[in-house]
Amino acid sequence: MKSILLLLWFSLTTLSLSAQLVPACAGGSPATTCATACINCNFNDYSGSTAGYPSGIVPNFCGTVENAQWMGFIAGAGTATFTVLPSDCSDGNGLQIALYEDCLGDPLACEKGEMNGGNLPVSITAPLAPGHNYFLMIDGFAGDQCNFSVSVSPNDAVYEPPLGQVGQLTGPTKMCPGATMPFSIPPVFGAGAYIWSGPPGAMIDTIPLPVTVIGNGGNQVNITLGDLGGQICVQAANSCNQTPPCSASLSVEILDQSYRPTIEADTLQHLTCSGAPAELEAQVLASVGFSFTWTSDSSGHIVSGQNSLHPTVDQTGAYTLLVINGQNGCSSTLDIRVAEPDTPHITDLRLRNITCYGFEDGEINAAAVAGGRSPYVFSLDGAAFVFAPTFRYLKPGAHTMAIESSDGCRSDTTIVLSQPNDFLMDLGLDTSIHLGRSLLLWSANWLSEPARAAQVLIKPAELQPMLCETCPYSPMNSFHYTVTAIDSAGCEAIDDRVVAVSKERYVFIPNVFKPDSGDSSNETLNVFGGEDVALIKSFRVVNRWGSLIHERSDFLPNDGLAAWDGKVNGQTVNPAVFAWQVQILFKDGETEWLEGTVTLVR
């Protein structure tokens, strides 16, 4: 017999990790517990006795146990039949046996014997996996003490199997620090364990390499790298043999931090106002081949989509997104806080107030909105909701803008559009003036708000030079004009006026005068004219025989120097009736001849 130390074993589908594989037995007696049994590399034709073994724990046995002993062995074939032949039993009850792979699990096969079994052989048959370790338990029925011998069919089912060749190691060749990625080789015949090694800091399930992985599936592991790259190695092993170190290897390069996934998301998001689960929003650049996993703290709750970019949640709390690149294991995380519903509100409100009094050209633009979940819809003054955030052609006064987010949250905002005062002009009533008189066409004081005038225009355009408060205008003819004042916003103050020009001729020549009378207003014969007279072209006085006795030309009306003083060649003339003739040029360009008589008295 060989004695051996062995770790606790788990089920066939469970991997067991160990710092090293327990070596084979080096001789000795069977063990009193499964956990302390060693592995025999060539187990057959064993003989022994149940005498002297204490009662121990045999999990899930099909009977009761009083004096069990355990023997471990390595399987060399796929199926085996174990036959134990008792002899010299003190009580005549015989033996009972069971076969285990997992010391804490159910037996693979169990034969509980029978009362008065005497020297009857007990036998079990079980499937085996070459290279795996198994444990045969032998116990006296009801504590019977018997000698026994063990035979196995076929014999090689309990002989050390030859280890097969280790195949190619597959896995990623580039990884990020801390990344966990799968590595594997094809199953090796006869292997009950695989010894994995790697660069410093590399681990399997938080256990630093090298690690011995025992059981089915040990040829496929997830290895977490540290900060260093290097060779990942594996060798096949069982309790009796192992392949050369680094039987298969793969070189892995460590990538820098730039290879980690880039996650973009608002770190503060909100539940919906409607009560429906909120969809969290996150984006990952170049996400093909990536995996996504969301977790929450104790207060959060993920409703669906835990492995997508857009899970739905229905409780406030902290949520964490883990993104892993399936090609190199590079990963990133992002924490998102989900708070109570957030109503939308305008963060950038742009207004265009009414430009001119009475216009309907106001504009409201919710250029930026925060809170709630986009897209948003907008309504103004109770109208239907639309996606456009801009409203035009608005009247002055208060307006109510409603904003509703896609998660059902709504807010109302009162917005006031102002308008300027009415821009007015008053040129006065239509008027009339006499030819030759002047008037002002414009004064800033005729505006309701003179300071607002940025530009003043007049029609007809030829009157533009007259738009000043020190520029009186003397029209030749009646006319209609319009003045427009424009402020900086383009608002206009407009008024018009009709100016009628009277062309009644203001000319007066006395019909009697008395020279040397001492009355200066009636001592000479003069041509009197109003503001409409431009020039006296000719003034002639003749006697009754047609003789010219006085003549003047090209003088202004009311000019005393051009008057006749009642003398001819310096000699006083006797009272008589004289004829006069006058040619007058008026300011409107018209010329008229006037004639009449005057009586000179003394």
- For 184-195, give the secondary structure using H, E and C: ECCCCCCCCEEE
- Which of residues 103 and 392 earns the better pLDDT score? 392
With a cut of 60, say whether residue 15 has pLDDT above it: no
Burial of residue 56, with CB atoms counted within 10 A of its CB: 0-12 exposed, 13-18 middle, 19 or more buried:
middle
How many CB atoms neighbour CB 478 within 10 A? 13
Which H, E and C letters describe 453-518, residue by residue? CCEEEEECHHHHHHCCCCCCECCCCCEEEEEEEECCCCCEEEEEEEEEEECCCCEECCCEECCCCC
Band (88; pLDDT cuts 50, 70, 90): very high
Q: Determine the pLDDT at residue 11.
A: 31
What is residue 262's DSSP assignment?
Answer: P
How many CB atoms neighbour CB 363 within 10 A? 15
Q: Determine the pLDDT at residue 9.
A: 31
What is residue 449's DSSP assignment?
Answer: S
Residue indicated by tokens 């006069």: 580
| 184 vs 174: CA distance, rounded Å | 16
- Strand order of the β-sheet with 109-111 is 39-40, 69-74, 133-140, 95-100, 109-111
CATH for 16-158?
2.60.120.380
The backbone torsions φ and ψ at residue 544, rounded to the nearest 5 degrees and listed phi first, read -70, -10
How many CB atoms neighbour CB 419 within 10 A? 19
Tokens linked to 243? 């392949």
Strand pairing category for 512-513 and 591-600 = parallel
Q: Determine the pLDDT at residue 20.
A: 59
Which 3 state secondary structure label does DSSP give 35? helix
Band (574; pLDDT cuts 50, 70, 90): very high
- Strand order of the β-sheet with 207-208 is 180-184, 220-224, 203-204, 207-208
H/E run at residue 366: strand 362-370
What is residue 255's DSSP assignment?
Answer: P
Cβ contact 305:236 at 8 Å? no
The backbone torsions φ and ψ at residue 110, rounded to the nearest 5 degrees and listed phi first, read -150, 130
Average pLDDT over residues 515-523: 85
Structure confidence by residue, pLDDT tens digits, 195-208: 999 999 999 999 99
With a cut of 50, say whether residue 166 has pLDDT above it: yes
Instruction: Give the CATH fold of the 431-502 domain.
Output: Immunoglobulin-like (2.60.40)
With a cut of 80, say whether residue 287 has pLDDT above it: no
- Among residues 264, 426, 274, 405, the alpha carbon closest in space to that of 344 is found at 405
| 99 vs 74: CA distance, rounded Å | 13
Q: Determine the pLDDT at residue 16.
A: 58
Burial of residue 287, with CB atoms counted within 10 A of its CB: 0-12 exposed, 13-18 middle, 19 or more buried:
middle
Average pLDDT over residues 88-94: 94
pTM as predicted: 0.58
Residue indicated by tokens 């005498």: 51
With a cut of 50, say whether residue 8 has pLDDT above it: no
Band (27; pLDDT cuts 50, 70, 90): low
Average pLDDT over residues 137-149: 93
Residue 108's region, left for phi above 0, alpha for psi from -120 to 50, else beta, is alpha
Tell which CATH classification among 2.60.40.10, 2.70.170.10, 3.20.20.70, 2.70.98.10 matches the domain 174-252. Answer: 2.60.40.10
Structure confidence by residue, pLDDT tens digits, 294-315: 999 999 999 999 999 999 999 9
Distant-in-sequence, close-in-space partners of 4: CB < 8 Å, separation ≥ 6: 22, 23, 24, 25, 26, 37, 38, 39, 40, 72, 239
Strand pairing category for 331-339 and 268-270 = parallel
Which 3 state secondary structure label does DSSP give 157? helix
Structure confidence by residue, pLDDT tens digits, 365-397: 999 999 888 899 999 999 999 999 999 999 999
259-339: CATH class: mainly beta
Percentage of residues of the chain with pLDDT beyond 70: 96
Tokens linked to 360? 């309907």
| 112 vs 353: CA distance, rounded Å | 99
What is residue 42's DSSP assignment?
Answer: B
With a cut of 70, say whether residue 179 has pLDDT above it: yes
Q: Determine the pLDDT at residue 14.
A: 40
Cβ contact 236:163 at 8 Å? yes
With a cut of 70, say whether residue 1 has pLDDT above it: no
Residues of the chain with CATH 2.60.40.1220: 507-600
Cβ contact 534:503 at 8 Å? no
Strand pairing category for 69-74 and 39-40 = parallel
- Which of residues 215 and 291 earns the better pLDDT score? 291
Q: What is the mean pLDDT of the chain?
A: 92
Band (407; pLDDT cuts 50, 70, 90): confident
| 278 vs 407: CA distance, rounded Å | 7
Cβ contact 69:53 at 8 Å? yes
Task: Tell me the torsion sign for CA atoms 440, 444, 446, 447.
Answer: positive
- Which of residues 42 and 536 earns the better pLDDT score? 536
Instruction: Give the CATH fold of the 507-600 domain.
Output: Immunoglobulin-like (2.60.40)
The H-assigned helical ranges of 291-368 are none
Strand pairing category for 576-586 and 533-542 = antiparallel
- Among residues 190, 236, 188, the alpha carbon closest in space to that of 212 is found at 236
Q: Determine the pLDDT at residue 28.
A: 63
Average pLDDT over residues 211-237: 94
Single-letter code of the amino acid located at 328: N
HSE value, Cβ hemisphere, 13 Å, CA-based, for 115: 0
Residues of the chain with CATH 2.60.40.10: 174-252, 259-339
> What's the helix, strand, coil split of the chain in %, to 5?
5, 45, 50
| 155 vs 303: CA distance, rounded Å | 58
Average pLDDT over residues 485-505: 95
Tokens linked to 452? 């607002």
| 265 vs 284: CA distance, rounded Å | 9
